[in-house]
Structure 1
Amino acid sequence: MHGPAQAAWLLVALCTGTGAYCLLRMRSRIEEQRRTAGGEALMGFGMAVMAVPAAVLAPPRWAWLVYGAVFGAAALHTLWAARSHPHHLHHLVGAFAMAYMSVAMAMVPGAHAGHGGAGIPLLTGALLLYFVGYVLWSGARLAPRAVSSAAGGAAVLGWADRSEVALACRLSMGIGMVAMLLTL
């Protein structure tokens, strides 16, 4: 990522923390949490590596192509999973966006996210609109709601089972994706 180094390092920290929490979610007692956690950990750590400032890490062209292949494979895996679980479509868009950004960086010699001129403007704009919408939607879902007193006692959940923390992680990755697409 190019631009203010502080912003890039904050994005690296946010994505690394999100990836680490997603690894913790892989140990959840809730199947839905475990099913999505691995892909989200890959996305979080991948975004962290991609957001490292260009002055610190400027990968060679072949590294961007490998990165694109990894996220392309993740997109294919997610496409397969989306056949039976349509909620995986968001993960498909995310993996595709990461593969797209990686290939765009490989096509521009000496490029690193944020140098501009990489990518297809229409596709970048469409992905940007999708992720802005996702951020707004998931942020609204985190807003506190009134709890009914008839709901009864809630079960004690471990950190890996907290759906609101998982949603906050998805929100932070969405914000990170918006920031990365803006710099493409």
Structure 2
Amino acid sequence: MHGPALAGWLLVALCAATGAYCLLRMRSPVAEQRSAAGGEALMGFGMAVMAIPAAAFGPPRWAWWAYGVVFGAAAVRALWNVRGLWSVRGHGRARAPRSPGRASGHAHHLHHLVGSLAMVYMSVAMASAPQGGAGHAAHAGPTGVPLVTGALLLYFAGYVLRAGLRLAPAPATATVPRSGSGPAVAWGDRAELALACRLSMGIGMFAMLLTM
């Protein structure tokens, strides 16, 4: 029993730290960064609460349904953002080349949509579990649909591997960047830090899905 409890608390610490960092990122002067960080903070803290070992805190069944409603709303918002980006892309396709930033934003909103739907799925599974087994993801037995769980596991495993490769240091080159070539990027807007944040949550999501 000690092993799973320890793993659960480590997962809580990882998700809570990620959520706290995303709250700090919400101070960014860039509106898009603030919006993304807010959604990721909600995801991080939501995962942290879900990962608390059931022996320490056992929420009532209705709390899981409330969780599903909250993350269902987050999924609708992410879907709306994806729809908006597709609409902008469709209207601007004939006028301008594809923007890398816009493509990156589209991929991020899609990932946030999948993450929110995964949280809804786990919340519904917890709420539907037998009364004796209703607990946190770190301690509940297999309660999900194997096909859905397997598909989500494959997605988050692929996302973690892809994000890890993107964070790998690039080979050194002989070119030395010029000083003062552009404005300094605020630490909250650094792409590699945001990616590390999403990588941590992807690992946490994969770990929780393994218990389903």
Same fold (TM over 0.5): yes
TM-score by length of 1: 0.92
Alignment of 1:31-180 (within 5 A): 31-85=31-85, 86-87=106-107, 88-108=109-129, 109-110=131-132, 111-112=134-135, 113=137, 114-146=139-171, 149=175, 151-153=177-179, 155-180=183-208
CA drift at 1:116: 1.7
The answer to whether the 8 A contact 2:9-2:52 is kept is: yes
Q: Find the counterpart in structure 2 of residue 10 from structure 1.
A: 10
Distance 2:32 2:81 in 1: 13
CA drift at 1:183: 0.8
Distance 1:72 1:63 in 2: 14
Identify unmatched segments of 5+ residues in structure 1. Answer: none
Deviations 1:96-154 (A, max 9, x none): 00011000000012412232231111001000100000000001000001355254336
CA drift at 1:163: 1.6
The two structures, once aligned, show a CA RMSD in angstroms of 1.7
Return the letter of the residue paired with 2:159. Answer: Y
SS in 2 for 1:59: coil
Return the letter of the residue paired with 2:18. Answer: T
Distance 2:112 2:128 in 1: 24
Identify unmatched segments of 5+ residues in structure 2. Answer: 86-105
Report the more deviating stretch, 82-91 or 100-109.
82-91
Return the letter of the residue paired with 1:182. Answer: L
CA drift at 1:27: 1.2
Distance 1:8 1:167 in 2: 23
* Greater C-alpha Rg: 2
Distance 1:121 1:54 in 2: 23
Distance 1:142 1:10 in 2: 23
Question: Does residue 181 of structure 1 match 2:202?
Answer: no
SS in 2 for 1:32: helix
Return the letter of the residue paired with 1:136. Answer: L
CA drift at 1:58: 1.0
TM-score by length of 2: 0.81
Q: Find the counterpart in structure 2 of residue 19 from structure 1.
A: 19
Q: How many residues align?
A: 183
Distance 1:138 1:162 in 2: 15
